[in-house]
């Protein structure tokens, strides 16, 4: 078998030709930036949906709080149904938690964070305690209405993590919280 001998000049010419050839350069460059590009796009989309869901929850709680303050909802189920009618487009109402408390004038209002020190969501201790109204008598109580929803996150596996519940785990979620406080004028 004969091995062809290539002169130095011919080898140099082939190397120059190979260096100048740009066929497929765009595909290689796209391959290098595709993963970070799509990760960024998905992170922006997920953040947008998360904030939009938070705003939907805020609006639902604001509207629902008026119903509680005016005694148009009398049970926790009525109140939850009123909020669900406003947020069910984006949220599963079975995962919605509510906390309604009324406070006497001058009483200290304590709002406890439902995420404990280890990053777990603790929904125990939520109550439905609206003020009791008498006909034609204005209430002097302050009502604090809160609702919570654990929003699922999907892009956290790509290094973008806005989770505040079970942060760092595959099941990390963003706790959406909405609060409305109503009281006498």
Q: How far is CA 59 from the centre of its chain?
A: 15
In a domain, residue 21? The reply is no
Residue 70 lies in a domain: yes
- pLDDT value for 185: 65
Q: Which residue has the higher pLDDT, 64 or 137?
A: 64
Structure tokens that stand for 23 in this block: 């066929």
Asked if residue 130 has pLDDT above 90, the reply is no
User: The domain containing residue 169 runs over which residues?
Assistant: 26-182
Asked whether 163 and 122 are in contact (CB, 8 A), the reply is: no
- Residue 8 domain flag: no
Domain count along the chain: 1
Give CA separation, 18 vs 14, 24, 83, 86, in Å. Answer: 6, 12, 66, 63
Arithmetic mean of pLDDT, 93-102: 93
Question: Among candidates 177, 74, 64, 179, which has minimal Cα distance to 130?
Answer: 74
pLDDT for the residue numbered 6: 67
3-state secondary structure of 164: coil
5 located within any domain: no
pLDDT exceeds 80 at position 146: yes
Q: Which of 23-37, 93-107, 122-136 holds the top average pLDDT? A: 93-107
Residue 63 belongs to some domain of the structure: yes
Tell me whether residue 11 is in a domain.
no
Q: Band the pLDDT of 179: cuts 50, 70, 90.
A: very high
**Is residue 76 one of the residues assigned to a domain?**
yes
Q: Closest by alpha carbon to 68, among 55, 81, 56, 58?
A: 81
Is 6 within a domain? Answer: no
Average predicted confidence (pLDDT) for the chain: 84
Are the C-beta atoms of 76 and 137 separated by less than 8 Å? no
Q: pTM for this structure?
A: 0.79
């Amino acid at each position: 078998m004969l091995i062809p001998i290539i002169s130095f000049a011919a080898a140099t010419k082939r190397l120059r030709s190979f260096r100048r050839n740009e066929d497929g350069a765009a595909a290689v460059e796209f391959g290098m930036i595709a993963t970070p590009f799509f990760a960024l796009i998905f992170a922006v989309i997920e953040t947008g949906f998360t904030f939009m869901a938070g705003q939907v929850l805020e609006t639902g709680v604001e509207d629902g709080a008026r119903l509680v303050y005016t005694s148009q909802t009398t049970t926790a189920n009525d109140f939850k149904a009123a909020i669900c009618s406003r947020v069910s487009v984006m949220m599963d109402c079975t995962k919605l938690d509510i906390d309604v408390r009324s406070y006497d004038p001058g009483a200290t209002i304590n709002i406890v964070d439902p995420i404990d020190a280890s990053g777990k969501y603790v929904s125990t201790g939520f109550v439905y305690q609206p003020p009791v109204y008498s006909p034609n008598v204005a209430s002097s109580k302050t009502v604090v209405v809160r609702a919570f929803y654990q929003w699922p996150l999907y892009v956290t596996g790509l290094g973008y993590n806005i989770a505040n519940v079970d942060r760092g785990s595959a099941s990390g979620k963003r706790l959406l919280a909405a609060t409305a406080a109503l009281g006498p004028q």
